[in-house]
């Protein structure tokens, strides 16, 4: 181990991130998104499901100083040019649009893998994986790991409409059972992922829910898990400036095993958290009972 490596609470050794200058191998559309594959030697071997990469955007004179963070969708240590990484880009702002305009052979500056991954259950229990929009990106490698452990994997993918879904074909290949929901009914069942979650849990006896997607979706699935006395792990997407634990822009209130709420950094302590430990109703605030809150003891 080196000084940048770490051990998770479940004993998994995390190899620290590296910075590499990679090269774009392919970019193609997938619904409303762009699937960007690039060579990033050394990153795949270190990556576990749920971790993310931070990419520099813009040219040498750009005003876009901050790296942009993306869940790692897929890695291949034996890919061309010595290891490849795939991410899913929702091009909506200056940084993501710049990435979507990249061409094969262009250079990319990558730091990763960052953050803490999903924990795998010790026993081969049934699981349900829930992805909202491009939030499903990290769930497919997770599904592979879970199945390799003997876990049953059911998957729910949801989005506002068909073009905002990601990975339906991948999901069909990997999950025992895949349910798709869209708000407008353009594909699968009309409604939201949480409308069908209870039914899927009843059917497969799910013991762990894994989720990645918008915060309200994560809050809702954590509530469902708590109500059933089962576990949930949620990969959150708080706005991140540095991505490496320095700036504190990504903090959210999380209650530890000691019952104390602390503002923790989602880039280094997350992005994956146990759903019952996040204070979902207080995200974006510093609750008065949080350790170090300026209002502590006033209420």
Ligand X SMILES: Cc1cc2nc3c(=O)[nH]c(=O)nc-3n(C[C@H](O)[C@H](O)[C@H](O)COP(=O)(O)OP(=O)(O)OC[C@H]3O[C@@H](n4cnc5c(N)ncnc54)[C@H](O)[C@@H]3O)c2cc1C
Which positions touch ligand X (CB under 6 A)? 52, 66, 68-71, 87-90, 92-96, 134, 137, 237-241, 249, 271
64 or 291: whose CB is closer to ligand X? Answer: 64
3-class SS at 253? strand
- Write the interaction track for ligand FES spanning residues 217-246; mark x where CB under 6 A is met and - where it is not: -----------------------xxxx-xx
For residue 86, give the nearest of 44, 56, 31, 116 by alpha carbon.
44
Residue 272 backbone phi and psi in degrees, to 5: -90, 125
3-class SS at 177? strand
87 or 224: whose CB is closer to ligand X? Answer: 87
- Spatial separation of the C-alpha atoms in residues 43 and 22, rounded to whole Å: 10
- Write the interaction track for ligand FES spanning residues 250-289; mark x where CB under 6 A is met and - where it is not: x--------------x-x----------------------
Minimum distance, C-beta of residue 49 to ligand X, in the bound complex (Å):
13
Q: By the 8 A CB rule, do 232 and 208 touch? A: yes
3-class SS at 140? helix
Listed in sequence order, the residues at least 6 apart from 59 whose beta carbon sits closer than 8 Å to its beta carbon are none
Minimum distance, C-beta of residue 275 to ligand FES, in the bound complex (Å):
20
Residue number with the smallest Cβ distance to ligand X: 93
60 or 239: whose CB is closer to ligand FES? Answer: 239
Q: Residue 113 binds what, of ligand FES, ligand X, none (CB under 5 to 8 Å, by partner type)?
A: none
Please name the helix (run of DSSP H) or strand (run of DSSP E) that holds residue 70, with its range, or none. strand 68-71
For residue 146, give the nearest of 92, 196, 207, 70 by alpha carbon.
207
Q: Residue 246 binds what, of ligand X, ligand FES, none (CB under 5 to 8 Å, by partner type)?
A: ligand FES
Q: Residue 65 binds what, of ligand X, ligand FES, none (CB under 5 to 8 Å, by partner type)?
A: none
Q: Residue 265 binds what, of ligand FES, ligand X, none (CB under 5 to 8 Å, by partner type)?
A: ligand FES
Q: By the 8 A CB rule, do 167 and 129 touch? A: no
């Amino acid at each position: 181990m080196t000084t940048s490596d770490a051990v998770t609470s479940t004993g998994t050794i995390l190899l620290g991130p590296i910075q590499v200058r990679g090269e774009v191998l392919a970019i193609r559309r997938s619904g409303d998104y762009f699937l960007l594959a690039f060579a990033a030697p050394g990153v795949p071997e270190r990556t576990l499901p749920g971790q993310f990469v931070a990419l520099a955007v813009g040219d040498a004179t750009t005003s876009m100083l901050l790296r942009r963070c993306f869940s790692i969708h897929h890695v291949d240590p034996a890919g061309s040019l010595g290891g490849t990484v795939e991410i899913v880009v929702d091009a909506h702002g200056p940084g993501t649009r710049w990435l979507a305009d990249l061409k094969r052979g262009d250079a990319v500056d990558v730091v990763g893998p960052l953050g803490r991954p999903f924990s795998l259950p010790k026993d081969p229990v049934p699981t349900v994986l829930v992805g909202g929009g491009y939030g499903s990106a990290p769930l497919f490698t997770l599904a592979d790991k879970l199945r390799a452990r003997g876990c049953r994997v059911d998957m729910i993918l949801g989005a506002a409409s068909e073009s905002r879904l990601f990975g339906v074909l991948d999901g069909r290949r990997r999950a025992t059972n895949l349910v798709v929901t869209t708000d407008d009914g353009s594909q699968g069942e009309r409604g939201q992922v949480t409308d069908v979650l209870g039914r899927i849990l009843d059917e497969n006896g799910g013991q762990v829910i894994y989720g990645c997607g918008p915060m309200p979706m994560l809050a809702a699935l954590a509530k469902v898990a708590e109500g059933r006395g089962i576990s949930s792990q949620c990969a959150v997407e708080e706005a991140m400036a540095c991505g490496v634990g320095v700036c504190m822009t990504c903090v959210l209130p999380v209650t530890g095993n000691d019952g104390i709420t602390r503002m923790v950094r989602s880039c280094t302590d997350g992005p994956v958290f146990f759903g019952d430990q996040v204070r979902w109703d207080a995200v974006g605030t510093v609750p008065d009972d949080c350790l170090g809150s300026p209002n502590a003891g006033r209420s």
